[in-house]
Amino acid sequence: MGQRLRNLRRARGLSLEAVASSTGLSIGFISQVERGLSSPSLRVLALLADTLQIGIGGLFEATLDEPDPDPIVVFRKDRPELQLWRAGITKQLLTPPGGTQGLSLFHMVLKPSASTGDELFSHEGEEAGLVLEGRLTLVVEARTLYLMEGDSFRFESRRPHRFSNPNPDGPTIVLWVNVLGSSKSRP
C-alpha cells in the first residue's frame, strides 16, 4: 500500500509537503505510511485518496501477473485486498481497474467489534451498501443507524460518517459501493 501511495503521489507531481498541507497529516506520518512503517486508518486513506484525486479503489493494486488490457472481470483469486489491521477491517476490491465513473465495489469484512474509530470522516463521492451478514452500526453526521442482514444504505460521502460491527461474537460482511463524484452532478 505504501509504495502504491508513493507512486501515485509522485505521478501527480506532489511533494510530501503538499500532501501534508492538503490532508492535515504530518510529513513524517505520510512518509512512514509510504515506507510501510505505519498502518493508516480508513479515515487517513480517504484523505489521501481525495488529495490524489482517486477513489479509495484507486489505492488497491492489481494482483494479476499480466494486466488485462480490457478488464471486465475480477476473478475471486485475483481480488486486490486491503487489510486495516488496527481497525479489524478487510476490503477486497471487486471491480476491475479502469472505468470512467470512479465506481468501486468492495466486499468488506469487519471482525467482531471492528470499527473505523470514534472520529467521523468524510471524502469525495457517494456510497451505498448492503449488509450481507451480521450487523452494522452506521453513523452519518448526528444520526446513528443500526442495520441488520438485508438492510441497505446510501449517502453522500462528504457527510461525516463512521461505521462499526457492534457484535463482539461474529463478523459483519457488507457489499460496499463508492462512487467518486457527487450524485448532484449526474442526471
> Could you report the per-residue pLDDT of 24-41, keeping only the tens digit for each?
889 888 888 888 888 787
Lowest mean pLDDT among 37-41, 59-63, 125-129, 181-185: 181-185
Asked whether the beta carbons of 119 and 171 are under 8 A apart, the reply is: no
Residues 42 and 89 in one domain: no
Helix (H/G/I), strand (E/B), else coil: 108 = strand
CB atoms within 10 A of CB 144: 10
**CATH code for the domain in which residue 173 is found:** 2.60.120.10
Q: Does the residue 85 lie in any domain?
A: yes
Q: Does the residue 127 lie in any domain?
A: yes
The pLDDT score that the predictor gives to residue 66 is: 57
The pLDDT score that the predictor gives to residue 100 is: 52
Q: Please identify, among 15, 30, 59, the residue that sits at the C-terminal boundary of a domain.
A: 59
Name the pTM for this structure: 0.71
Reported as a pLDDT band with limits 50, 70 and 90, residue 185 is: very low
Whether the per-residue pLDDT at 183 is higher than 50: the answer is no
CA distance 126 to 56: 12
The mean per-residue pLDDT over the stretch 38-67 comes to 72
Asked whether the beta carbons of 161 and 120 are under 8 A apart, the reply is: yes
CA distance 77 to 135: 27
The mean per-residue pLDDT over the stretch 108-131 comes to 93
Residues 117 and 177 in one domain: yes
Supply the mean pLDDT for the chain.
85
Q: In this prediction, what percent of the chain has a pLDDT beyond 90?
A: 37
Give the residue numbers spanning the domain of 149. 76-185
Residues 53 and 98 in one domain: no
2-11 and 27-34 helices cross at what angle (nearest 10)? 120
* Alpha carbon distances (Å) from 19 to 25, 60, 132, 140, 161: 8, 19, 36, 26, 22
Residues 51 and 97 in one domain: no
pLDDT digits (tens, 9 = 90+) for 1-27: 788 888 888 888 888 998 888 888 898
The pLDDT score that the predictor gives to residue 33 is: 85
Q: Does the residue 71 lie in any domain?
A: no
Residues 96 and 147 in one domain: yes
The mean per-residue pLDDT over the stretch 149-175 comes to 97
Residues 6 and 96 in one domain: no
Beta-sheet pairing, 135-140 with 126-133: unpaired
Q: How many domains does the chain have?
A: 2
**109 strand-pairing partners:** 90, 173
Whether the per-residue pLDDT at 168 is higher than 90: the answer is yes
